[in-house]
Structure formats: structure tokens, C-alpha cells
Amino acid sequence: MNADSVALLFCLGPLLACGETELAPVIAGDTGSIRVLASDMDTPTTVAVRNGIAWVPEGQFTHFPSLGGDGAPGPFQVRSVSLDGDGIRDTSIDLPAPDFYPKGIAANLATGDLYIGSILNGTIVKVPNASTLVEDEVFLPAVPEVLERGALGLRVDNKRGLLWVCDSNIGATPARPGGTLVGISLSDQSPAVRHKLPEGSICNDILVDPGGAIFFTEAAFGRIYRIPPDLALIDDSAQRWLDDAALAPPMPGQLGANGIALAGNRLFIANTSAGTLVRVDPSAEDPASTVSVVTLSENGVSPPVALSGPDGVFKLSDTQLLVVENGLGGSGLRRLIEVRLDSE
């Protein structure tokens, strides 16, 4: 076959531009199905993947005294879950007692290290690659000069040498209201930059896109903020990027926009109290015009299923997401699920 024949095949292929060999980008749609990977967890919160295994902190928030709990949680841990459907594995990570209450987890894909944060006191611990033991020297102790409230969402940004942390708190006594996105140096744990949110905000989860822009969710009002790449290291540069009813909590005092991931050229955001997964086109001039709620089925069930307190969201592929259901809403299910999205 000569070169002209090869070029003709490229022109005829439905996914290829004439004379080019790259496939057209996958666009993740707003319909899909659910596969359960783990169930009956103790208020799971977020998820990270390391070496092909999902790691899910159990926050045990049902024990929070200020949320009506008994104040007597069991040992805090991060559970490991198989991605092939075999359920919860025997291996886990034990976390400090007695009041760690984990929320956010992030994997450093360059090193394999895991970082896990405490929503209650702001401590962040580190678990080295191929280990399930927390390092003896805490990555970040409970230091108000770095985090004033607690650690919610975490995200590693290797290009900038930072661990981004949502400094907020839910259910603490005494209350410590407010929210700030803080960039903490991976090398010396010093605060490199702070992006403060308006009064009453809850900074929740974080995404760094391939171009270096930072998106993060705000849960009290249901908003998404964005920081352009060139402003990431300049204090208080976060810009309110999207307000939409689909991201807002259904009632005051509930939680709206939470976990966030970029898959198939679309943002997917969990709305915790609404029990939904929301899709947005981040490249649109008017992102609000592209907002849609993802319709999900489970075991062929119709009408579509609602999620039970969707929390952390993690991209597996252009059409696959991991979503943590914390059980604090809806039917009370506490699961790690895989969402398989249809493509447009």
C-alpha cells in the first residue's frame, strides 16, 4: 500500500481528520451506569488510586458529637478496594487516634506517596509508596499558622511543588467558619499561597487541569471557583467561575458542590445533598449553558437512581469515574461505585 492509499484511509475513517492519525477526542456524556465496587463502609469520603488500587478514607462522621453522633468512633483507617470488582481488600492504612476523622486523600503520581488529611484538626499524614504505614514524622501537624480549620480536599501539583488543601471545617466544636484554598510546599510544608473565599464558604475539593488552571468547589452555596495558571501563586486570585442551581444545596445548611474530576473533556461534580452528578463543559464561553445532571442506571433499574451523599470523585478514564457515596443522604448507602459514562 503506497502513501496515497494510507492517506485516503485516514480521510475515510470516521474518527480521523484527513491526513491526520490522531483520534477525535472523547466527549463524556451525561448518561451512564453504576457498578458497585465496595459497600457497607463507615462514612467513606474521598478516593485516590495508587498502583491500581483504590484507597478510601472512612470518615466516620456519624460519630461527630456536633452532628448528633456518639463521639466514640472506632479506629480510623483508609480501606483498599479492588478495581476489578472483588470488593474491599484486607489491606488498610491505620490513622492516628483518637480524633483524626479523615476526609481528603491524594496520590502523588510521580512518587506513589499518599496524603491524607484530618477534617477536624488539620493534620496531614503521608504514606510512602508501596507502604501502608503512616510516616512517623507527620507531614503537617495541626498548625493554625498553616491551616486554620481543617483539611478537606487535597490535590498534588507536582509542577508547582505544592499540595493544594481546602482549609475548611464541617461539624467542628467550636465552629470555625470560612474557607481558603492553601498551597503547601511538598518539600518543607510551608504555606506558599492562600486564596480566601467569601464569608460563609466551605472550600471542598480541588482539580488541577492539564493546562495548570485550578478548579475547586464550594459546598455551602454550591459554586465552582477557577484560578488561571498564571495567577495560581498570587494570593486571593480565585475567580467565581460557575453558579448554578444544579450545584447548590437543596436547602440551607446542606452541602452542594463537592468532589470534582475532569474526564472526557467535561467536568463532573458531585452535589452531595442533592444526590446527583453534574456535568459541565469547561471550555465553553458560557459554562452555565452546558450544565446537565447525569442520568444513571444501576442493574438496569428504571427510573434513574439517585446517589446517596456523593462525595469524592476520581477519573479512571475518559468515560469512567470513581464516586464515593458517604451515606449522609438519600438511601444511606455507603459505597465506592464506578460510574461508566456513555460518550457523545
CATH code, domain with 104: 2.120.10.30
Q: How many residues does the chain have?
A: 344
pLDDT score, position 8: 35
| Residue 130 resides in a domain | yes
Q: Is residue 7 included in any domain, yes or no?
A: no
The candidate with the shortest Cα–Cα distance to 224, out of 272, 177, 280, is 280
The full DSSP string for 65-79 is GGGT--S-----EEE
Which residue matches cell numbers 478496594?
A: 81
Answer yes or no: is 197 within a domain. Answer: yes
Decide if 11 is inside a domain: no
80-127 pLDDT per residue, tens: 999 999 999 999 999 998 889 999 999 999 999 999 999 988 999 999
Residue 162, burial from CB neighbour count under 10 angstroms (0-12, 13-18, 19+): buried
- Three cell numbers, residue 284: 465553553
Return the number of other C-beta atoms located less than 10 Å from residue 138's C-beta. 15
Q: Please list the ranges in the chain whose pLDDT falls under 50.
A: 1-20
> Would residue 17 count as lying in a domain?
no
Residue 16 inside a domain? The answer is no
Which residues have a Cβ under 8 Å from the Cβ of 263 and sit 6 or more positions away?
Answer: 28, 315, 316, 317, 318, 319, 320, 321, 341
Is 290 part of a structural domain of the chain? yes
Q: 242-283: per-residue pLDDT in tens?
A: 999 999 999 998 999 999 999 999 999 999 999 999 999 999
Residues contacting 279, CB < 8 A, separation 6+:
28, 29, 30, 266, 267, 268, 290, 291, 292, 293, 294
pLDDT in the model for residue 12: 39
Does the residue 231 lie in any domain?
yes
Number of structural domains (the chain) is: 1
Residue 173, domain extent? 27-343
